[in-house]
Structure 1
């Protein structure tokens, strides 16, 4: 008679309950998934089903946190706008204008964060052209207010005497054109971006703008 073999009982291997996430954690998870989907597929082709699947959440939870796909788009961009412009700055900070602009325009980002920043800039630029209503929503909800924040910072620099008095609206627009024009070239890049060389190029451009601003100020004071 064959001897019966039984597997020994396993002790201490209980199947635990899945971790319950807070609403804040669920929100971050959904926003990360939404950003990934929007970058890969664009706004029109992305569905809330896609986002829920990527985030591994139920559509019920998704709609509990966000009213619709448009709100999700605005929230996803807003959650990562610090990658585009680091404003407002913390109080008591003291940097020369050129170094402050390096930090404001996030030329200190890691390669991974810089790649995400570039993808987000391309996303906003592309979708704003395809669906103008999205651009209006981003401004109406104050998700995109980069120029206004930069103008506020320039006003502060002028008040402190760190920069000469100038039309801050035009100056803010010029600074953003200089930086984002370099980050979003008209021709598609081939291969990986040399972030060190890119930052050095943008810093050189900013230095020229500041030098020109100081030169105009000296002429005006004569």
Structure 2
């Protein structure tokens, strides 16, 4: 092979891979893997029986790495809940800023709330808290503040945005949010928690959100002129 052929062969050859260790995940990416694994571990085994080593194994990281990022089991449980709530609140905030009509926007916001609250793993976490709250009161308080109150606050903030835009009129956005959430999730959540039904599908949640939005925006009362007309026809 002459020199020109050698030079051409080197030009055509694929670039060599650099030596060294492969690029590592960032701490944020590793935490996300750990939180996903912890959600499954907590929902399956409960807070007391959850094993940190098993969480690390599920996440594909060492126990040393897990403890470096998240030092205690309570911090792991709190991070698991907070991570889920951060994603949920981001979705609700985005829904509040789109240009759709109020009915469609409210349906979307309620569907997002329903998918969070009626998620099988979230309901399993609530079972854990109810079972272990006497032994671990900190997890009950943490879940109340980080999950329940943040969910309510996110929907109340969404309603406040719509009120300032002149699309709805409510006396108390926080109270209205509580009523809406109760109407949306109370019955299906209890059905799942007491073992009478499986968690609702996404289509079922969307249908319930649609009905709740219509009830909230329009109400059940028959307009006065229609009542007068019905009285005249009787």
Query: TM-score, length-normalised on structure 2?
Result: 0.69
- Which of the numbers 132, 149, 156 marks the counterpart of 2:154? 149
Which residue of 2 is the match for residue 120 of structure 1? 121
> Which structure exhibits the higher relative contact order, with contacts defined as CA atoms closer than 8 Å and separated by 6 or more residues?
2
What's the counterpart of residue 133 of structure 1?
A: 138
Q: Is the 8 Å Cα contact of residues 84 and 105 (structure 1) preserved in structure 2?
A: no
Question: 1:12: which partner in 2?
Answer: none
Take 1:195 and 1:149, find their aligned partners in 2: how far apart are those partners? 20
Pairing 1:165–2:170 present: yes
Length-normalised TM-score, structure 1:
0.73
How many residues were matched structurally? Answer: 199
Unaligned runs of 5+ in 2: 1-19, 224-234
1:73 aligns with 2:77: yes
Q: Please give the per-residue CA displacement for 1:73-106, whole angstroms capped at 9, x wherever unaligned.
A: 1111222226755332367422333322222233
Larger gyration radius, structure 1 or structure 2? 2
Counterpart CA distance in 1 for 2:116 and 2:140 is: 22
Q: Is the 8 A contact 1:127 1:134 kept in 2?
A: no
CA distance in 1 between partners of 2:221 and 2:88 (Å): 26
CA RMSD, 1 decimal: 3.5
Residue 68 (structure 2) aligns with: 64
Runs of 4+ with >4 A deviation: 16-19, 82-85, 114-117, 139-144, 189-194, 213-216
